[in-house]
Amino acid sequence: MSTALLRGLDRRGQEARLAVGHRSALMKIPTKTLCIGCTAAFLSGGTAWAQEACSTYVVAPGDNLRYIARNAYGDADMYRVIYSANVDTIGAKADLIEIGVSLAIPCDPREETVTAAAPSVGLQTEVVDPAKQPVEVVPELPVGDAGLGGSEVVVQEPAPEPAPEPEPVEVAAATPEAPPEVPATESQPPMAFPYRLVTGNGYAPFADEMLPGGGMFTQLVEMAIFRADPAIPYNLTFVNDWQAHIDALLPSGAYDLSFPWVRPNCEAPDALSAADLARCENFEFSAPLYEIVDGFFMPADSELLSATSYTAFEGKRICRPEGYTTGVLEAAGLTSDKIDLSRPIEVTDCFEDLAAGKVDLVSIDAEVGDSAIAALGLTGDFAQNPHLMTLDSLHVIAHKSNARAVEMIRQMDGGVIEMYESGEWYDIVSSALSNGALQQ
């Protein structure tokens, strides 16, 4: 995605922050990203019925599936329920709903006891419990062997001598066997097995299975996939070891895509750490879905709050969680020989160490930092330096050795553009930021 396009989209991202009253230090920072298409297409007037479950709704100007789902079910993430019930009307691409078109609004599947209703909610999308993943159908293989053994016994009972006469029948049987092989080859989209997506917890407001829709970034990713093609199957798993995502899970092919990840400045490889350089060389990045403000948190009474140069942080104990790029520190001249850097697994570990006086600063995305502080009940104890911060973008990544996953990244990029132009990106971001502001 070009820098020019990203800049053009920044204005809408900034509006998202302003709309939810984001703190003044961040209001001046553009927030960001891209998207295109499912808003009602024609700007003519029209009478819309109230959006209610178990009814019919006439599309009005400005509608999209998320808006309709929120009004009908109280949950915008249930847009797939409405889409599934109106595929013939909306179309396979789901990139356009026209004003005046009548959409069937199914009854709320959450109120139904029939388990068959579940698949229609997320199509082939599901959240996979990591604890259940090791369970495979492998134990059934011995059962198949037993079945073969049984057939051998049956073959032994009849006398094999009469076989010569049925030979013509065998020839006839050979002919029908060919057709089954043809459909098997044609329906060989076993390549359509679900894409395996992995993210992790403890990254509020972007990713956490306890957040609505799995977090803001999770919702953006799922909507981008839906916009790219509603029929794309995928599974989503939460694995909390973020470093394992890039060290093992993606390189081994165990998973196809991981999110969200900051893209280092790959255009300046000489200035990158070995870890960031490897990330640039080995991973494919999606178009940016969101832009973050990376800053420094410290005790509310710290003299470092007034610092206007990164040199003031030299010699300090800085905490930045494992899995987070250190490029923001190195770009500021805060290399490992100039600071005492600690790398715990969890963001909350950094703030607990800050509260205990074990570190002087926490280097983290502003929104993630605010969420972690609120979760610890320490709001008011810490503050972010308002002068020293950098902008980074968040992406979905795929290992370059996984051609299928790289192609999926390209498909998603198109979906991101459509999502932005439809207003769904703004809806997801503003809702998430509003919810976060209410919790702090």
Cα torsion for 238, 241, 245, 251, to the nearest 10°?
-120
What percent of the chain stands above pLDDT 90? Answer: 46
261 vs 215: CA distance, rounded Å: 14
What's the whole-number mean pLDDT along residues 360-388?
Answer: 95
What's the whole-number mean pLDDT along residues 339-359?
Answer: 96
233 vs 124: CA distance, rounded Å: 5
Lowest model confidence (mean pLDDT) among 128-132, 231-235, 360-364, 419-423: 128-132
Reported as a single tens digit per residue, the pLDDT across 307-333 is 999 999 999 999 999 889 898 999 899
Position 405 confidence tier, pLDDT thresholds 50, 70, 90? very high
Higher pLDDT, 12 or 150: 12
Q: What is the mean pLDDT of the chain?
A: 76
pLDDT for 51 equals 58
Q: For 78-140, where are the alpha helices, taking DSSP H only?
A: 79-85, 87-90, 117-122
20 vs 38: CA distance, rounded Å: 24
pLDDT for 375 equals 92
Taking phi over 0 as left and psi of -120 to 50 as alpha, with beta for the rest, 433 belongs to: alpha
What's the one-letter identity of residue 230? P
Higher pLDDT, 94 or 69: 69
pLDDT for 392 equals 92
Burial 204-222 (b: 16+ CB within 10 A, else e): bbbbbbebbbbbbbbbbbb
Reported as a single tens digit per residue, the pLDDT across 181-208 is 545 445 444 556 899 999 999 899 999 9
160 vs 175: CA distance, rounded Å: 22
Question: Cα dist. 45→59, 122, 279, 294, 422 in Å?
Answer: 10, 32, 50, 44, 18
Residue 56 has pLDDT above 50, yes or no: yes
Higher pLDDT, 61 or 335: 335
Q: With helix as H, strand as E and coil as C, how does 284-331 read? A: EECCCCEEEEEEEEEECCCHHHHCCCHHHHCCCEEECCCCCCCHHHHH
Residue 270 has pLDDT above 70, yes or no: yes
Q: Peptide bond before 260: cis, by omega within 30 degrees of 0?
A: yes
Residue 27 has pLDDT above 50, yes or no: no
Reported as a single tens digit per residue, the pLDDT across 136-192 is 333 333 333 333 333 333 333 444 455 455 454 444 444 445 445 545 445 444 556
H or E stretch at 49: none
* Domains of the chain, CATH where assigned: 3-34+290-392 (3.40.190.10), 36-123 (no CATH)
